[in-house]
A and B are shown apart, each in its own frame.
Chain A
């Protein structure tokens, strides 16, 4: 029962807390740097923060003045039954309390602003950093898990920042104040009261060493659950079609159980804090009363009965802010668990881009050369020894079996990945010496999986060129043969496309992404199976537009429909990551090699 209450599996193992491991854990968590980095996010609001602190001082002072004034009124007006001046005194009291309420409100008012501004900065910085990360980073991660960092983890930080700052400051203030009075009253008794501080410290350490681990585990579990939810819901159609609902529910339950267990332990241990503090509080009183009483009786150290009475009251007040601090410390730990997950992502190295600065505005001619390029996503090589040269304005087509490495070549050219060996030259300059900006700003892509944003049709096409006019957008749509179907949509170009949208078909999505590339008007054009879901009649209709688009631009085309590539200047046939044949359509037919075989198969 004790080791597995309600059947919850224990999370913290003895080893986690052992000395050797503790160091490791602490190093990994590195809460100091997390706090420092969070502080850096706040520090531009330092002035406002000072205002808040001053207000905390004011409200704390007013909170002390109020009772003093009441005491005064009772002593000097109520007891002696004095009337004149009473109204005045009460009036002043009213002012003090109004001041207190206003100061309290204002400090919280500004603190909420500071906290949320910080959270906003953290969020946008995280998002901005995600934009800079290489594709490789995203290959291995679940979307939902990353999403959890932007929402759940940062929400954790938000909750804490709102309240903790003021709480901690006012607790420290009260603590210092009370301690001074106590020292003034009796240094000896103060020392006695302080005896519980080491105990408090030990208790806190015992608890927070556990909650520190548990909060992290909890955030990790919620991230994993988020990942599973996102993935399942995004693939809901497949789940339904295969009637796998029961199984995903089972899988969900397992992940959810992990979150429950972590949450249970984290919440239980955090819940100990106020209880333990309360007990120590009582102990401190007993010590003061017992030992103090003894001293008073024996007449040591100038302790009198009166001192004990007053002192015990202050001793009680002394532990309250300590208690608050302990609670806040725990809240801060849970925020750190969240913030740490955010900073982990922000520490991921961004895509390297040591491109030549002067080349930034350079317009490319579109001369592309691959020299002996080898690359693999993982250990095994996906493409090997790829060499070819495409001159400005030429069209190069890549054909070959699935998995032969066609898309990989496109991905290397757009610098989604860096080559393992060999070199890619753009206009004779090694591609890794050109800023990505330069390279990509002159490329337009139609990717294998057309993606549309949750936005209007018009905005989706305009994505290729953000300052395109409505006329340009519509002209591109017409060329891509998309205009007819767009006009049939409920709101035409202003129809909002939704993620689960039934509004348009896969083929129509491809037409829209072709229109998007048309609007971009690039030097280099990359078409990766741009028309695979489009029926061949429509394809013929846009063929002309595509050809016109390719005119004067260096184009790379991947297609299985050999129709699309007939007019290419050069066709490269890939097999198992290597170029096995190259030449014009006619050359290759004449050679009667792999390409000829591929065509013959169609017959």
Chain B
């Protein structure tokens, strides 16, 4: 909880004010019974309306003071709580952004979402509650206890008798609560995950008529959440009755021994009555205690989840350092690169070496799962090579500032991922300061300009999440334009023309001819290999051929097989 509550410290002044106001209010509340007594005893009993008037006015004045402190406390407490929540969310989000892909993939998306919303809210509410009522319950108990001791320590000791049991009980319950509420939050993760999956796969689920099946899967997840919530909450509901019972037993001890004392040692009856009164006040404060324990154990469970994320500081990537980027095509060199994904044993790439000169186009071909995408992900340092050196312009990529490196790369992923916003926003995403001309230029090159102009709102057309209602080819071309707009030194196209028809694709390659960039193109199409400077063949993570189209036709049986598989296409 420490790491998380560190974020509250910067609001220490507001917190101090809030707590001070809370105490002020409490003080007024404690004085009030005295004033009431005075009004009754000196005023009403003696039929002196003057006294009633005076003390009544004082009381009203104090009530207004309490109202004022309460209202102002409300402002300060919510300011602290909300700002704390805001800072926490920000810290978590920044951490998510800074995580290396390898570390990032350890957290399921759904769980990250819960941590950033639900968990933050729980902790934030706990802080707000602390600033409002935290001190009240303990002060009330302590005050009553002290008063009881002042009255008669012999009897008051019985009120303390239950204390050790209570303390042990409360500690056990709090611990158990943290555990159980942690589980509840994890269940919430899986509910979140199922919903997310269902939203992503909505077409597939409808197509296969799996609505009922998915609903039953969801019922299971929601049922598990229910079961664990009920379990946790029911256990917490045990706190209050047990507290009250222990307290009430102490009560009876006071009565029993009190009666004894009155009889044998002449203790005044008033003492017994007074202690009984204080004990009653203590019990009323206890109900607040149980409420606080629930809030705190939930908050503790949630902060542990957040801390898990905040403590993941292996392989953090620096966020933008405003590094300069190089322009113009870059040279790329793979030297004895081997790679395996973190947490696996098998190498996906094995001793890969090749070189691409500035401005060259290299086409990478190979069977599905031969490591093509993996290889390309190493260039922008999505993952680090397990062995070997990858250098760009003669400099090891590990030595490049990450930001400068990625800024010179235009990356077109296999699955075009567009974001909610306009076409314009999606394209200028590749380059923040892009002008309308830049955007259009990139769109023209990517062969998407004409399609965009046909949309009702042109570049201002809104594309939904993941660009729904754009055809597969349109999404791919927008994704290509987004990469082109930054005039990359290295352009990585990971099978990103698969949904393009032949004509459009040919026009695209033509337009890309003039680009001053080094191109890595993963493709299945042999025609694309024809325009490349060289072709790299991958098989099970190894290079099994490297050369021009003609050379490979001669030397590689594997390449001939690919070529043959496509030869029947086209006009005989």
**Does A117 reach chain B (CB closer than 8 Å)?**
yes
Query: Which of A74, A233, A259, A401 sits near B276, CB closer than 8 Å?
Result: A74
Interface 9-residue window, one of B249-257, B354-362, B547-555: B249-257
Known: A5-B75, A151-B188, A537-B367. A74 touches B273 (CB 8 A): yes
Which A residue's beta carbon lies closest to that of B402?
A243
B501 at the interface (CB under 8 A from A): yes
A456 to B197 CA separation, bound complex (whole angstroms): 15
**Interface 1/0 per residue, A49-89 and B, CB below 8 Å:** 00000000000000000110010011001110101001100
Pick out which of these stretches binds chain B: A10-18, A31-39, A97-105, A191-199: A97-105
Instruction: Report if B262 contacts A (CB, 8 A).
Output: yes
Closest CB-CB distance, A348 to chain B, in whole Å?
Answer: 14
**Distance in Å: Cβ of B100 to nearest Cβ of chain A:** 9
Chain A residues with Cβ below 8 Å from B96 are: 233, 236
Interface stretch, picked from B2-10, B63-71, B384-392, is B63-71
Nearest 9 A/B pairs, CB to CB: A402-B473, A507-B368, A275-B70, A271-B74, A267-B78, A131-B211, A101-B241, A241-B411, A282-B63
A interface footprint on B27-55 (CB within 8 Å = 1, 0 otherwise): 00100100010011001110101001100
From A238, A243, A533, B407 is in contact (CB under 8 Å) with A243
Q: Which residues of A contact B486 (CB under 8 A)?
A: 242
Known: A236-B101, A533-B498, A560-B500. A293 touches B471 (CB 8 A): no
Could you say which of A101, A142, A243, A380 contacts B420, with CB atoms under 8 Å apart?
A: A142
- Contact: A437 with B209, CB < 8 Å? yes
Bound-state Cα–Cα, A74 to B66, Å? 36
Taking the nearest CB of chain A, how far is it from the CB of B113, in angstroms? 5
User: A183 at interface (Cβ–Cβ under 8 A)?
Assistant: no
Give the A interface residue count (CB, 8 A).
185
Residues of A within 8 A of B524 (CB): 532-536, 539, 561
Residues of the B chain whose Cβ atoms lie less than 8 Å from the Cβ of A74:
255, 269, 272-273, 276
Q: Which chain B residue has the least Cβ–Cβ distance from A120? A: B226
Q: What are the residues of chain B within 8 A of A453 when measuring CB–CB?
A: 197, 201
By the criterion CB–CB under 8 Å, are A263 and B82 in contact? yes
| Pair B70/A242 contact, Cβ less than 8 Å | no
A93: interface (CB < 8 Å): yes
CB pair A146 B195 closer than 8 Å: yes
Interface size (B, Cβ < 8 Å)?
182
User: From residue 365 to 392 of chain B, which have CB atoms closer than 8 A to chain A?
Assistant: 365-369, 372-374, 380, 382
What chain A residues lie within 8 Å of B435 (beta carbons)?
none
Among B382, B420, B468, the residue within 8 A (CB) of A231 is: B420
**A256 interface residue, CB < 8 Å from B?**
yes
Chain A residues whose C-beta falls within 8 Å of the C-beta of B263 in the assembled complex:
81, 83
* B477 sits at the interface (CB 8 A): yes
Q: Is the CB of A241 within 8 A of B406?
A: yes
A74 vs B430: C-alpha distance in the bound complex, in angstroms?
82
- Cβ of A78 and Cβ of B191 under 8 Å apart? no
A181 beta carbon closer than 8 Å to chain B? no
If A158-B229, A466-B213, A529-B499 touch, whether A562 touches B40 (CB-CB below 8 Å) is no
A401 touches B195 (CB 8 A): no
Q: Mark each residue of chain B from 181 to 217: 1 if its CB lies under 8 Å from any CB of chain A, else 0.
A: 0000000100111011111111111111111111100
Find chain A residues with CB under 8 A from B503 CB.
401, 597-598, 601
Instruction: Please determine whether B502 and A90 come into contact, CB atoms closer than 8 angstroms.
Output: no
Instruction: Give A569 Cβ to nearest chain B Cβ, in Å.
Output: 18
Check if A138 sits within 8 Å of B499, measured CB to CB: no
Q: Which of B29, B98, B118, B527 has the most CB of A within 10 A?
A: B118
User: Is there contact, CB below 8 Å, between B369 and A279?
Assistant: no
Q: Are A253 and B415 in contact (CB under 8 A)?
A: no
Contact status A127-B218, CB under 8 Å: yes
Pick from A112, A260, A400 the residue with the most CB of B within 10 Å: A260
User: Which residues in B have their C-beta under 8 angstroms from that of A237?
Assistant: 101, 382, 413, 417
Kindly name the residue among B62, B208, B272, B417 whose own CB sees the greatest number of chain A CB atoms within 10 A: B208
Interface segment out of the listed B144-152, B162-170, B564-572: B564-572
Is the pair A268, B74 in contact by a Cβ cutoff of 8 Å?
A: yes
Please, which residues of chain B bring their CB within 8 A of the CB of A539? Answer: 524, 565
Is A201's beta carbon under 8 Å from chain B?
A: no
* A residues near B86, Cβ cutoff 8 Å: 256-257, 259-260
Which residues of chain B from 82 to 115 have any CB-CB distance to chain A below 8 Å in the complex?
82-83, 85-86, 89-90, 93-94, 96-98, 101, 104-105, 108-110, 112-114
Q: List the B residue with the shortest CB-CB distance to A93.
A: B252
Interface status of A180 (Cβ within 8 A of chain B):
no
* Contacting residue for B112 out of A112, A229, A308, A441, CB 8 A: A229
B368 contacts A152, C-beta separation under 8 Å: no
Is A445 within 8 A of B208, CB to CB?
yes
Task: Give the residue among B64, B89, B98, B204 with the most A Cβ atoms within 10 A.
Answer: B204
Can you offer 12 A-B residue contacts whose CB atoms are under 8 A? A86-B256, A93-B248, A135-B203, A241-B380, A243-B406, A263-B82, A297-B47, A463-B204, A499-B197, A500-B109, A510-B368, A599-B569
Cβ of B465 under 8 Å from chain A: yes
- Interface 1/0s, chain B 112-149, versus A by CB < 8 A? 11101110010010001000100000000000000000
List of B residues within 8 angstroms of A73 by Cβ: 255, 259
**Is A123 close to B, CB under 8 A?**
yes
- For B506, give the chain A residue with the smallest CB separation: A601
Which listed segment binds B: A283-291, A386-394, A425-433? Answer: A283-291
Q: Which of chain A's residues have a CB closer than 8 A to the CB of B73?
A: 271, 275
Known: A78-B262, A441-B209, A506-B415. A229 touches B113 (CB 8 A): yes
Distance in angstroms from B452 CB to nearest chain A CB is 10
Are A128 and B344 closer than 8 Å at their CB atoms? Answer: no
Q: How far is the CA of A248 from the CA of B93 in the complex (A)?
A: 9
Q: Is the CB of B64 within 8 A of A279?
A: yes
Question: Is the beta-carbon distance between B472 and A407 smaller than 8 angstroms?
Answer: yes
Binds A, one of B232-240, B329-337, B512-520: B232-240
CA distance A599 to B502 in the complex (A): 8
**Can you name 15 extra interface pairs (CB under 8 A) apart from A138-B199, A267-B74, A532-B498?**
A123-B222, A143-B196, A158-B229, A271-B70, A279-B64, A309-B40, A377-B469, A401-B504, A402-B473, A440-B208, A445-B208, A449-B415, A499-B109, A532-B524, A603-B570
Residues of A within 8 A of B199 (CB): 138, 143, 146-147
Residues of B within 8 A of A253 (CB): 90
Check: B242 CB closer than 8 A to any chain A CB.
yes
